């Protein structure tokens, strides 16, 4: 917790104390108070007790140790792609995906004013690498150097602590309110439809039967056998059974570069005969298959 900038520490202490009294209501998230993950937790469950954690590992560990009932974790962004390390952390966590949430992302440029009340010029702007990437055209056009920070709200707390009017932060409006910064310009993201998908992680998986009759998603990871056309054959069951696969990503397992794991989302849940047949065929061609969770669909997939 000492890694948070000074202006954030008091808020973190208050939120941790509140969560400790009612851990079942707590939702852990990575970042300082005011981060987009904080916003997502409050929008997904307005009555929750947000629990800020410095890292994704800390947010997951809070759920595993009972400090929080669930965790709100970003998994991918419409501009920046998948969030680094999440695809490794999810299967190692032992937690299950029980929900998803799509958060429209709007970045504001915020700072402290000059002595005369004006703003800038700014020599640098701090933020999370994803937020900097999502605002790169804005920054380049103004000659502002992007500098990485652990998270968006943390960068706002850092700028507040530095009291330097020549540096700014790119963060959600909530962070400006929490740390006493002024909004210099709103919506500095390069794309108006910038969106982050979050997943909600909990100790116990949802019973797929509880999702019957409503649109659902299932997320799983698998490693195919190391034989020719294994992936092609493994995917065939989804096509022949009419199961819509909305996501398929690959990454290397270990350092041998000889084994590849895949991360996938499908529409539907076990218990649906078509999904059961597709997963059974997939398992036949796999060395490993792990269901990470079935959960209500938050946004319709075409």
How many Cα atoms occupy the beta-carbon half-sphere of 185 within 13 Å?
A: 14
Q: Of 4, 29, 198, 262, which one is the catalytic site residue?
A: 198
Whether residue 84 has a cis bond before it, omega within 30° of 0: no
3-state secondary structure 112-142: CCCCCCCCCCCCEEEECHHHHHHCHHHHHHC
Q: What is the dihedral of CA 91, 95, 97, 100, to 10 degrees?
A: -100
Annotation says 284 is catalytic = no
Cα–Cα distance measured from residue 155 to residue 175, given in angstroms and rounded to the nearest whole number: 9
Say if strands 26-30 and 49-53 run parallel, antiparallel, or are unpaired. Answer: parallel
| Nearest by Cα to 38 from 232, 217, 175 | 175
Annotation says 219 is catalytic = no
Q: Of 56, 152, 196, 262, which one is the catalytic site residue?
A: 196
Partners of residue 28 on adjacent β-strands? 51, 71
Cα–Cα distance measured from residue 114 to residue 121, given in angstroms and rounded to the nearest whole number: 10
The catalytic residues are 196, 198
């Amino acid at each position: 917790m000492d890694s948070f900038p000074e202006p954030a520490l008091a808020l973190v202490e208050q939120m941790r104390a509140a969560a400790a009294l009612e851990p079942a209501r707590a939702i852990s998230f990575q970042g300082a108070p005011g981060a987009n993950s904080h916003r997502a937790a409050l929008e997904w469950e307005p009555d929750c007790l947000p629990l800020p954690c410095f890292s994704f590992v800390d947010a997951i560990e809070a759920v595993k140790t009972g400090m929080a009932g669930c965790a709100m974790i970003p998994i991918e962004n419409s501009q920046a792609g998948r969030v680094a390390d999440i695809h490794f952390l999810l299967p190692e966590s032992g937690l299950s995906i029980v929900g998803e949430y799509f958060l429209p992302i709007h970045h504001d440029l915020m700072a402290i004013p000059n002595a005369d009340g004006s703003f800038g010029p700014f020599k640098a702007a701090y933020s999370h690498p994803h937020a900097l990437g999502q605002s790169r055209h804005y920054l380049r056009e103004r000659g502002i150097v992007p500098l990485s920070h652990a998270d968006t709200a943390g960068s706002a707390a850092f700028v507040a602590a530095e009291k330097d009017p020549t540096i700014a932060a790119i963060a959600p409006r909530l962070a400006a309110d929490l740390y006493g910064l002024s909004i210099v310009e709103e919506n500095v993201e390069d794309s108006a439809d910038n969106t982050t998908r979050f997943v909600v992680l909990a100790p116990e998986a949802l019973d797929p039967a509880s999702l019957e009759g409503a649109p659902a998603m299932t997320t799983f990871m698998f490693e195919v056998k190391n034989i020719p056309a294994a992936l092609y054959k493994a995917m065939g069951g989804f096509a022949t059974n009419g199961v819509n696969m909305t996501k398929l990503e690959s990454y290397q397992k270990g350092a041998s570069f000889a084994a590849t794991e895949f991360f996938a989302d499908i529409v539907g849940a076990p218990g649906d005969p078509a999904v059961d047949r597709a997963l059974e065929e997939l398992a036949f061609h796999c060395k490993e298959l792990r269901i990470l969770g079935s959960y209500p669909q938050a946004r319709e997939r075409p």
